[in-house]
Structure formats: C-alpha cells, structure tokens
Structure 1
Amino acid sequence: MQSGTPTPDSYYEPVDEHRYKPTPHASGAWNTEEQHFSPLGGLIVHAMDRHLAARPHTGLLPARISFDILGPPALDECEIRVESIRPGRTIELLEAVVLIADRPVVRARAWLLATADTTAVAGGAAATLTPPQQLAPWPLDSLWPGGYIASLDVRPLAPPQPGRTTAWVSTGVDLVAGRPSSPLASFVALVDTANGIAVRQSPTDWMFPNVDLTIHLHRQPEGAWTGLDTTVVFGPTGQGLTSTVLHDLNGPVGHAQQLLTVRPLPGTDG
C-alpha cells in the first residue's frame, strides 16, 4: 500500500475466492513486515466457514482448531486452501493450508462435532469475568509495536503481572473487507493476543514467539469481546507455554495453548 493511502477498516481485503491481501492493521508485533498471527488465525477460520457454507448444512460445529506456524508469514498476499480430510455425519476433520508466494506458512486442522441438547448436564466451567464496560483500557501498543496491536481495545481486570494477566480484547476493525465473518472467526482473530498480554520478560530483551496455537471449545463464542485469562510459563531449556481460559461475555467457552520458543535477543545479555 502506497504511503498516503488511507488505511482500510479491515485486516484483509479479498483478492478472489481463496486469496487475501493483508492491510497495515495485520502487521505483527515481533516484526512489522510480517503478519501478526492473531488476525491470520481468524482469517483461516473465515476460509473454513466459507468452505462449509458452499455445501449442505451438516449440523456440525468446530470444537478444536489447531494451527501449526511453519514460518513467519510475510505481510503479503496469501492463499488459503481448505479440504475435508475426514468427512462424516457426526465427526469431521477439516484441514487448511496458508500459502504465501507458493510456500506453506500455516497448516490448520479443525475437528467438527455433531450438536445435541446437553443443557441438562452442562456445567464445570469457571466463573464469568467482570464485564469490559466496567474496566479501563490498557494501551498495549506501549509494550508492542505493529498495526494489529494498535487496532485493539484491551481492558485488563487487574494490573498486568509478569506471566499472569486476565483481560478483555476487542477491535473495531473488520476481519475481511466487504465479507461478513462468523462470531467464531472474529473471536479466534483475537486469541493469539494472549501471548502478548502476560509477558514474563521484556520483548526488547527476549524473544518468545509461539510456534502453534490450539483452541478447544465446549461452547461456541458470541459477541464482540474475547476474554483471555492467561498464564505464561518459561521452562529452563528454551521452551515456554501460554495457557488461556477463553471467555465471552456469557462466561468461559474453552481453552487455548501456545507453545513458545524462548531465547535472548541478539546483542542482549539474556
């Protein structure tokens, strides 16, 4: 995008049925010339939704979505290919591959499960969070650079602590220009933010990017806010784990895990 051109009010612009162009809003925190994975994760779910919408409704719902990040996704046009690799009437497995310059950068899989009325036995989830309307915004862009972080409204329930933060996240930026996105796609587009809200060490001294993201859902999320009850652990041999209880305004909806590679930035003492 040329300098001086107004920034679109979306993270992506559709090029054709399967290709998308990221806008400056999608730029990353570790490297602003790359895409932040959070909106890209939402875009993958959006592509899966479109794949499912092109066939008769099966009544199956996504219950687990896993993303393996094969390499840094450049802030360039991407293509998303989706296929069903395990079709079924009660259980189905979808796979999506994201390609940039014909190179796979993300592989994702989603398990879809049949729906049933289990209201009578539902239970076991954590308590609901204090609603975001009662909380003050936190300028996360004071800690992280990039267009994606700058696009967020972040509202912590308490002052963020190293390795432990609970916060609501929302955005006024559409996922894909001119195309409606499902509540799930919009929700997932904010989940990868979890690794940036409870940092254990300064990101100017240490790197701790995630190489994957796995989301398990016991309920489909609703609404414009994604709640992240996040804990970050660093191990002694270069690995870390970001674990999050996921919420919408009605309560918990599931869990997310992110595997981290932890290492000092070049030129720092570590």
Structure 2
Amino acid sequence: MAYFTATGPDAFTPTEHVGGAWEVSEQHIAPALGLLVRAVEADRDARRDDGLVLGRCSFDILGTVPMAEVTVAVRVLRPGRTIELVEASLAHAGRDVVVLRAWLTRPADTAAWAGGALPPLPGLAETEPFDGTGTWPGGFIRSVEIRRRLLTQGRAQCWVRSHHDLVADRATGPVAATLGLVDVANGLATREPPGTLAYPNLDLTAHLFGPTPAAREWVGFDTTVTFGAGGVGLTSTVLHGADGPFGTVAQVLTLRPVGG
C-alpha cells in the first residue's frame, strides 16, 4: 500500500489513501509534503555525496490539489559547500500548488552538547487509541493509526504512524516519511468541530534538530491549537520520536465560519 504511484520520473498519481479531510475529492496535503522532501533529498544525493541534513522545511500551500497526477521540480537557490537553500514545487496541470524552501546544512558530531528543555511526551501506554475518522473523512485519515491523550480543548498529546509507503516501489528516507505525516497535527487537537468552523492551514514550517523516526514508526505530536479573534489561528507542535523531541512544526490557519 502506498500514497502515490510513480507515473514518470517526476510525476506521481495519488491513490485512494491520499483523500483529503476537508474535501474527499481533494488530496490531503500531508503526503504531498513528504513527496517534496523526497524530491529534495533525491536531488541532493544526485549532486553531492556529503549528506547535508535538512534543518528547516517551509511549505507554502498555494491551493487545493485534486485527486489527480502531480509533478515535482527542484532547483538550488543558494548553493554552498556547507549550506544550501533548495526550492521544490509540486504542480498540477502546470499550476504550482505547494512550494517548499528547505535549508540544508553540513552534519557534525555535537553529541557532547546535545540537550534541551522541551518536556517529554507520554508514551504509547499512556495514550488511548483514537479513531480520527469520527471527526475527519477521507482516505488519508483512514490510513493512519493514532493514539491520543486529550488534555483540554485545543491541546493534545498524540502518537501517529502509517503503514503505507510514500511512493509504491520507491525508496523513501525517514525525513520524507515523517514530514509526509506532520500536516495531520492540525486535526489532532480540535478546538471546534469542522462542521462549525473551517480552519485549513496555509503553510507548514518544520524545524528539525534531531534524527526523525524511520518510516512506519510512531511519530509523537505535542500539539496546541490557538484561535485569534480576527480570523487567524495557529497550530504549534513539538515532534517526538522514541528518544525524545527532534523538531517543531507551526501551521498558520485561516478561520472560516461554516455557512457564514
């Protein structure tokens, strides 16, 4: 099982498991984000052999994506020996629908200085199985396994994993596999039912400071959702693996009363 099948060197067709949560006729954007990260890593590995690591991935979501073939393209905006800025775009019918700008940096052994004050996430045994399909429709939500501890309205601690490959019969690294899940954060700690208020995200920015879980492993989400009074919201998440925090995610939301 996979989210996409390759239909050309840079072309991919979604499977039923990509169906969106806001509209089932549209793609859930999460797998598309993973597809762009996979393209950036493939381009990096084709050009150089020093294993630059991704430190920031900032995605701008320019529009909705139908359940149809998409293409990806990559270009280097700022080449460098130890640091690069790379841009990747995902397009449908010649129109860009997601643009990624990724900073890559030279890896180094800094284990002697590693640490931080981010609080730990409760383990799997302390979270309950959660059926996300009770709130959200679509093939993508059906494809993931979720365990959740709901602390209060708009605040949840969760573990999420998928048993699906990103692209059928194609290798995918752990960063692309993980970032192909993280857009789910906006639906894990709902402040309002989606039938009352729509709150799609316009972007997603991930900062990574540690190794990401391997494909098919659990990814932890310590998520807080905040709604402002002027139509803008924010979903903030600390990402966790089995060994602790490894990154953060922020998503800006446009708030739209349903039927208003």
TM-score (normalizing by structure 1) = 0.92
**Displacement of 1:77:** 0.3
- SS at 2:239's partner residue? strand
- SS at 2:183's partner residue? helix
* Match in the other structure for 2:155: 164
**Displacement of 1:133:** 5.3
CA RMSD of aligned residues (A): 1.3
Could you tell me whether the CA contact under 8 Å between 2:45 and 2:51 is conserved in 1?
Answer: no
* Match in the other structure for 1:188: 179
Cα distance in structure 1, aligned partners of 2:85 and 2:18: 28
Give yes or no for the alignment of 1:178 onto 2:159. Answer: no
- SS at 1:159's partner residue? strand
Q: Residue type of the partner of 1:256? A: V
Aligned residue runs from structure 1 range 74-93, under 5 A:
74-93=66-85
**Displacement of 1:132:** 2.3
- SS at 2:136's partner residue? coil
Q: Residue type of the partner of 1:49? A: E
Could you tell me whether the CA contact under 8 Å between 2:150 and 2:189 is conserved in 1?
Answer: no
Could you tell me whether the CA contact under 8 Å between 1:77 and 1:100 is conserved in 2?
Answer: yes
Give the unaligned 5+ runs of structure 2: none
Q: Residue type of the partner of 1:214? A: T
Could you tell me whether the CA contact under 8 Å between 1:187 and 1:225 is conserved in 2?
Answer: no
Give the unaligned 5+ runs of structure 1: 1-8
Q: Residue type of the partner of 1:258? A: Q
- SS at 2:129's partner residue? coil
Cα distance in structure 2, aligned partners of 1:258 and 1:127: 21
Q: Percent identity?
A: 45
Runs of 4+ with >4 A deviation: none
Give yes or no for the alignment of 1:227 onto 2:223. Answer: no
- SS at 1:194's partner residue? helix
Give yes or no for the alignment of 1:236 onto 2:229. Answer: yes
Q: 1:210 to 1:190 in 2, by over 3 A?
A: same
Q: Residue type of the partner of 1:262? A: L
Deviation string for 1:101-125 (max 9, x for gaps)? 1111011110001111111111114
Q: Residue type of the partner of 1:236? A: A
- SS at 1:149's partner residue? helix
84-93 or 117-126, larger mean C-alpha shift: 117-126
Larger strand fraction of residues: 2
- SS at 1:43's partner residue? helix
Cα distance in structure 1, aligned partners of 2:94 and 2:125: 44
Could you tell me whether the CA contact under 8 Å between 2:160 and 2:219 is conserved in 1?
Answer: yes
Q: Aligned to 1:203, which of 194, 215, 236? A: 194
Cα distance in structure 2, aligned partners of 1:181 and 1:196: 25
- SS at 1:117's partner residue? coil
Q: Aligned to 2:239, which of 239, 246, 268? A: 246
Cα distance in structure 2, aligned partners of 1:63 and 1:43: 17
Deviation string for 1:121-152 (max 9, x for gaps)? 11114243233255431001111000000111
**Displacement of 1:162:** 1.8
* Match in the other structure for 1:215: 206
**Displacement of 1:263:** 1.2
Aligned length: 258
Cα distance in structure 2, aligned partners of 1:43 and 1:132: 28
Give yes or no for the alignment of 1:258 onto 2:235. Answer: no
Deviation string for 1:194-213 (max 9, x for gaps)? 00011111101110000000
Q: Residue type of the partner of 2:211? A: Q
Cα distance in structure 2, aligned partners of 1:54 and 1:17: 14
